[in-house]
Chains A and B, each alone.
Chain A
Amino acid sequence: MPERPEIFHDIAPRTDVVAQPLSTWQRIYASAAARKAVLLVVLALVWEVYARRLNNPLLFPSFSSTVSALFESLSSGEIPRAAGYTLLLLIKGYSAGLLLAGLLTALAAATRWGSDLLEILTSMFNPLPSIALLPLALIWFGLGDGSIIFVLVHAVVWVVALNTFAGFRAVSPTLRMVGQNYGLSRPGYIARILIPGAFPSILTGLKVGWAFCWRTLIAAELVFGVSSGSGGLGWFIFERKNQLLIPDVFAGLLTVIVFGLLVENLIFGTIERRTVRRWGMQN
């Protein structure tokens, strides 16, 4: 073995190379919003091309005619009125459902009887489609918003309660011990350790609950919309189908979809970015 000299380097501190900014293109590519926008444009193009080749506006109107029908109904005020009506019902039903879910989970977190009750109730009622309760609700609460809100609460409460409670259970033992170590009271422990610790699955529950709520509401309006006096979006779709205004039907459906996208990406997306992503609890 040849004798090798020892080597020493004088290293100047180079903090500038530790963290370098991304290029514009890298940043666009890394943005989920940009990628999703591209996908949406591609989907709209596929729709347009297919509809034009089919050339049967009664069965499958093209994207452009749907959009123009949408703008017509928007400017005539029909869709905004119907959507506003639907949205109000949705907010009422969703918030009532969340309130009830909160009460049930608090009970479940506090006592063993409460958690048994929650388990039995969710396994009984979660698989039951909410819309199946509508005929019964109409008998109980009459032809009005009351019955629709009843089925909405049913659509929201079980999935939210189930996810929240599952999240509570999944909070790590170390965090629980930390909470006890600093002498938190029972309500303080739930509010300051369990809820933030379970937030990823609470958020999932809120999202799934919102989706259940939205689709149940549209379905309820489609079937029984006329019963509650003025109609919402579901009723708008149903009525236009009867008049064979198929582009309007598509415009109504598109409104439902756009609402879904907006709530998912703007509201829940923002909550997600500001909470679980920022905290590194979800990637």
Chain B
Amino acid sequence: MQPLLKVDGVTLQYRVGEKLVTATYRVSFDVLKSDRFVLLGPSGCGKSTLLKAVGGYHAPAEGRIVLNGKAVSGPGPDRIFVFQEFDQLLPWKTVTENIVFALTASGKLARVQALERAASYVEKVNLTEFAHAYPHTLSGGMKQRAAIARAMAMEPDILLMDEPFAALDALTRVRMQEELLQLWEDTKFTVLFVTHSIPEAIRVGNRIALLSPHPGQLKAEVNSPTDEARVQELLFGGAHA
């Protein structure tokens, strides 16, 4: 099967003052269609930078990122980001209008069709009651649901999720993970998911890439479900093949 996303020997560097810091070093992996591919690693392993590079916000110093046979060269609506921050929703637009904005700004749909699709995705994430609420009136979990609805309504080739549940309380977090899996059962979207939580990686992913820090290098790729002890051993244990 042809991979949907090919990350091929990617080295990412960024400047901090006078120094050039290497975030990831020659990382390669393939994401297939309908994968729930998780990048897991401790902070400093460059997983978020890697995701931003796939998003097109950061050009690799070495290697290539190829989506659907085309090299990624900048941000675009074929890869939609869901950020960790709650302020990713436009505060001057309601939940519905945020989704409509995404669909019309990208030229994907005209306003009338956009409204229809927005309504259906608002329903999918159980926000119908808050469809016309402004983001600041929502709780953290609802904001993330709205952001996920906005991203999914775009029906992108791949969803890029950067620790979307990290700022939520533990109870909400577990519920959101379940909801995400239900949505996946519905539409079988492809997602590249970054997290530093081993249980979250195991719950959410069907394939987990384990990264080591300073600089970020790929240690292993395992299939999920798997057990936490094994992932921990692979991440922090000694010499594993």
- A contacts, CB < 8 Å to B: 172, 174-175, 177-184, 188, 192-193, 196-197, 199, 275, 278-281
Is A188 a contact of B137 with CB atoms below 8 Å?
no
User: B91 — which chain A residues lie within 8 A by C-beta?
Assistant: 279-281
In the bound assembly, the distance between CA atoms of A92 and B136 in angstroms comes to 38
Residue B107 CB within 8 A of the other chain = yes
Is B57 a contact of A180 with CB atoms below 8 Å?
yes
Is B83 a contact of A177 with CB atoms below 8 Å?
yes
Residue B80 CB within 8 A of the other chain = yes
Is B135 a contact of A280 with CB atoms below 8 Å?
yes
Q: Which of B77, B88, B136 contacts A175 (CB 8 A)?
A: B88
Is A181 a contact of B90 with CB atoms below 8 Å?
no
Among B74, B83, B135, B137, find the residue whose CB has the most chain A CB atoms closer than 10 A: B83
Task: Identify the closest chain B residue to A172 (Cβ).
Answer: B87
Q: How distant is A249 from chain B, measured CB to nearest CB, in Å?
A: 45
Is B134 a contact of A181 with CB atoms below 8 Å?
no
Q: How distant is A255 from chain B, measured CB to nearest CB, in Å?
A: 36
User: A180 — which chain B residues lie within 8 A by C-beta?
Assistant: 57, 74-75
Is A280 a contact of B136 with CB atoms below 8 Å?
yes
User: A280 — which chain B residues lie within 8 A by C-beta?
Assistant: 91, 134-137
Q: How distant is B107 from chain A, measured CB to nearest CB, in Å?
A: 7
Check A181/B136 contact, CB under 8 A, given A188-B105, A275-B92. no
The 4 closest A-B CB pairs, nearest first, are A280-B136, A180-B75, A196-B92, A279-B91
User: B154 — which chain A residues lie within 8 A by C-beta?
Assistant: 182
Among A196, A199, A279, find the residue whose CB has the most chain B CB atoms closer than 10 A: A279
Q: How distant is A167 from chain B, measured CB to nearest CB, in Å?
A: 13
Can you list 9 A-B contacts with CB-CB less than 8 angstroms, sorted by A residue number? A172-B85, A181-B81, A182-B80, A182-B154, A183-B75, A183-B77, A183-B105, A278-B134, A280-B134
User: B135 — which chain A residues lie within 8 A by C-beta?
Assistant: 280
Is B92 a contact of A184 with CB atoms below 8 Å?
no
Q: Which of B74, B85, B101 contacts A174 (CB 8 A)?
A: B85
Q: How distant is A166 from chain B, measured CB to nearest CB, in Å?
A: 18
Q: Which of B55, B79, B105 contacts A192 (CB 8 A)?
A: B105
Is B134 a contact of A279 with CB atoms below 8 Å?
yes
User: B83 — which chain A residues lie within 8 A by C-beta?
Assistant: 174, 177-178
In the bound assembly, the distance between CA atoms of A56 and B137 in angstroms comes to 56
Q: How distant is A179 from chain B, measured CB to nearest CB, in Å?
A: 8
Is B101 a contact of A182 with CB atoms below 8 Å?
yes
Q: Mark B100-118, 1 if CB is under 8 A from A, else 0.
A: 0110011100000000000
Residue B69 CB within 8 A of the other chain = no
Is A177 a contact of B57 with CB atoms below 8 Å?
yes
Is A177 a contact of B90 with CB atoms below 8 Å?
no
In the bound assembly, the distance between CA atoms of A178 and B83 in angstroms comes to 9
Q: How distant is B40 from chain A, measured CB to nearest CB, in Å?
A: 23
Check A183/B81 contact, CB under 8 A, given A175-B87, A196-B92, A280-B137. no
In the bound assembly, the distance between CA atoms of A54 and B180 in angstroms comes to 75
Q: How distant is A272 from chain B, measured CB to nearest CB, in Å?
A: 13
Q: Which of A178, A183, A188, A279 contacts B76 (CB 8 A)?
A: A183
In the bound assembly, the distance between CA atoms of A85 and B77 in angstroms comes to 53
Among B77, B105, B135, find the residue whose CB has the most chain A CB atoms closer than 10 A: B105
